[in-house]
A and B are shown apart, each in its own frame.
Chain A
Amino acid sequence: MTLLAVEDLRVDIAGVNAVGGVSFTVADGQRVGLIGESGSGKTLTALAVMGLLPDAARASGRVVYRGDDLLTMDEDALCRLRGDRIAMVFQEPMSALDPVVRVGDQVAEPRLIHRGESRDVAMRHAVALLGRLRLSDPVSIARAYPHQLSGGQRQRVLIASALACGPDLLLADEPTSALDVTVQAQVLDLLRGAVEATHAALLLITHDLAVVAATCQQVLVMYGGRIVERGPTRDVLARPRHPYTRGLVDAHPNVVGPRLARLPAIAGSVPPLGGFPDGCVFRDRCPRAIEQCVVEPVLTGRPRRRGETPTRAVACWNPVPDR
């Protein structure tokens, strides 16, 4: 069943368009990856779902959670959902924990708010949760201040506080990007395990293909505030159709297979907000651009074989041919 349906979401910041009409759905218990370079509008999309956009930002379209549009919901109702049904793990474990509040209190906070539990009860739950995230000695971790913990420990603490109320939907914004590689894998495993155990849906935002491949069933590729390709993760990463996705996959070093002397890179760089071309946003960096690209392509389903229901969609006039 569809848990979250984002329909034609647009976000403008101070008059400049940052997210330009994004649509996708997340089903109950589904793990969806949202991938793209920095500046592609991934974080803004997540913040729009949370109703936590900065003051200067305006969102339009619909963000439907279990039949209710979150964009038109009043703040009281949103506050009841946030942290309880919909939770978010932030990118920076260093700055997303209040330096002057004990870790345990921060993990217990959502339960104090939404369950009306006493501090003692919420604290016991927090300690249990920290233990389940395989933090050794959760009791003393709960008593510690954030600066006493390592980056990996802090990120687990953030995941614990997001999971405190057992949300239906977890948004994770680059949850492992600030961690070193060995810790990344552990934290990712824990995140995935925790989401599976609680049957929560996950929207994982990342720029790392490997993270998506290891975690998500579905992937959304975002560029310039638009979703340019969508489909089952394995399929999309194995046979990218959009030239941008293709570029991302090619730029990713292969652990197996021949070692390339030099990794291919996508030409140019992401333009600043408001600097994207008309028509297809990728057209001035695209090796396959054709005349038709001055008209913005629509994300359309493309069946792998004639007559099959499409599981994938790509927004491109001249997609990479399917091998």
Chain B
Amino acid sequence: MNRRRRVPPTLIAGAVVVALVVVAALVSLVWTPFDPRLADTASRLLGPGVEGHLLGTDQYGRDLLSVVLAGSQVIVIVGVLAVGIAAVLGIPLGALAAVRGGWVGELVMRGSDVMYAFPAVLMALMLSAAYGSSTTTAMVAIGIAYVPVFARVTRAASLQVLTRDYVLAARAYGRRSPYIVVRHVLPNISSVLIVQATVAFALAVLAEAALSYLGVGTQPPTPSWGRMLKDSQTFLDSAPRLALWPGLAIAAVVLGLNLLGDGLRDRYDPHAHIEGRP
């Protein structure tokens, strides 16, 4: 492999955007121009630049820039945890299906097909009916919905690695399957999994925004971009910027993550064809 291959521009662009979001989330933890939760009826729907509000204020009188900045926290947390849940459950299941094959593998894969048939939104509606609407509910729902994606990708990539001579050699040293998976299979498919995680992160961001828009995700007063889109609907005529900024933020993050995923794939995994969820 050519280790000095040029870094794809998509990788750089994606990394920059994603880094910006992470920085925004971290900064908003300690500082925002105004308190994003402070509703002030006296200063409702102020235009951009008025009274120091760079992007103006929303219908509750909150500083729009502060709310957008604070909204990035939810995105980062949801993305990390939803992908975490999906990976922690999906990767072992996929590896198990690859190593054991037979009825065990069949059971895991058909089970994941059934899961795959459930849209994340439906899962979230079910969970929020049972446990109430919250960021956690949305996160768990998205996480569970992406378990089959990780299981499939892990299984497909593992099956390939398991045919390699070094796996046979490890067995000839007297190693057993579970150790071989941890030591030889997972490290060799990590690039595929990292790319998959990036793509899943983008989809999780989108799913969280959709769920919050539907009212089963993040609840007020926690700022959330999906929620902001919904609340701005009534003011679409008078104050379109209320929808513009959170909408742009969502689009930018998803684009950034997709660029990053594509870039990583080009850089580290040029031959892999990954099944992604549409």
Chain A: residues with CB nearer than 8 A to chain B? 50, 52, 55, 75, 79-84, 87-88, 90-92, 95-101, 109-110, 113-114, 147, 158, 161-162
Which residues of B sit under 8 angstroms from A81, Cβ to Cβ?
Answer: 174
Complex Cα spacing A88 to B173, Å: 8
**B-side interface mostly:** helix
Which residues of B sit under 8 angstroms from A95, Cβ to Cβ?
Answer: 164-166
Asked if B165 and A52 sit within 8 Å, CB to CB, the answer is: no
Asked if B173 and A113 sit within 8 Å, CB to CB, the answer is: yes
Which residues of B sit under 8 angstroms from A83, Cβ to Cβ?
Answer: 172-175
Asked if A113 and B184 sit within 8 Å, CB to CB, the answer is: no
Which residues of B sit under 8 angstroms from A87, Cβ to Cβ?
Answer: 172-173
**Listed residue (A92, A96, A98) with the most chain B CB atoms within 10 angstroms of its CB:** A98
**Does any Cβ of A come within 8 Å of B110's Cβ?**
no
> Per a CB cutoff under 8 Å, which of A80, A96, A109, A110 touches B168?
A96
Asked if A82 and B174 sit within 8 Å, CB to CB, the answer is: yes
Complex Cα spacing A99 to B170, Å: 13
Complex Cα spacing A90 to B169, Å: 7
Asked if A96 and B174 sit within 8 Å, CB to CB, the answer is: no
List 22 interface pairs A-B (beta carbons < 8 Å), by A numbering. Answer: A52-B172, A75-B176, A79-B175, A80-B174, A82-B172, A83-B174, A87-B173, A90-B169, A96-B165, A96-B168, A96-B169, A97-B169, A98-B169, A98-B188, A101-B183, A109-B175, A110-B173, A113-B173, A113-B175, A147-B1, A161-B173, A162-B172
**Does any Cβ of A come within 8 Å of B278's Cβ?**
no
8 Å CB interface, B147-170 against A = 164-166, 168-170
**Does any Cβ of A come within 8 Å of B187's Cβ?**
yes
Asked if A52 and B166 sit within 8 Å, CB to CB, the answer is: no
Asked if B187 and A79 sit within 8 Å, CB to CB, the answer is: no
Complex Cα spacing A142 to B166, Å: 17
Write out, one digit per residue, whether chain B residues 164-203 have a CB within 8 A of any chain A CB (1) or not (0).
1110111111111000000110011000000000000000
Please name the residue on chain A nearest to B188 by beta carbon: A100
Complex Cα spacing A75 to B187, Å: 25
**Listed residue (A55, A87, A100, A161) with the most chain B CB atoms within 10 angstroms of its CB:** A100
Which residues of A sit under 8 angstroms from B174, Cβ to Cβ?
Answer: 79-84, 110, 113-114
| Extra pairs beyond A92-B165, A98-B170 (11, CB < 8 Å) | A52-B172, A81-B174, A82-B172, A82-B174, A83-B175, A95-B164, A95-B166, A96-B169, A98-B166, A98-B183, A158-B169
Please name the residue on chain A nearest to B185 by beta carbon: A98
Complex Cα spacing A110 to B169, Å: 11
**Does any Cβ of A come within 8 Å of B101's Cβ?**
yes
Q: A55-B101, A92-B165 are in contact. Are A98 and B173 (CB under 8 A)?
A: no
Please name the residue on chain A nearest to B167 by beta carbon: A98
8 Å CB interface, B26-64 against A = none
Give A172 Cβ to nearest chain B Cβ, in Å. 12
8 Å CB interface, B231-249 against A = none
Q: A90-B169, A95-B165, A109-B170 are in contact. Are A101 and B175 (CB under 8 A)?
A: no
Complex Cα spacing A158 to B165, Å: 12
Give B3 Cβ to nearest chain A Cβ, in Å. 9
Which residues of A sit under 8 angstroms from B1, Cβ to Cβ?
Answer: 147
**Listed residue (B173, B175, B184) with the most chain A CB atoms within 10 angstroms of its CB:** B173
Asked if A82 and B171 sit within 8 Å, CB to CB, the answer is: yes
Give B157 Cβ to nearest chain A Cβ, in Å. 14
Give A89 Cβ to nearest chain B Cβ, in Å. 9
Give B165 Cβ to nearest chain A Cβ, in Å. 4
Complex Cα spacing A97 to B168, Å: 10
Please name the residue on chain A nearest to B174 by beta carbon: A83
Which residues of A sit under 8 angstroms from B171, Cβ to Cβ?
Answer: 52, 82
Asked if A90 and B187 sit within 8 Å, CB to CB, the answer is: no
Which residues of B sit under 8 angstroms from A114, Cβ to Cβ?
Answer: 174
> Per a CB cutoff under 8 Å, which of A88, A97, A147 touches B166?
A97
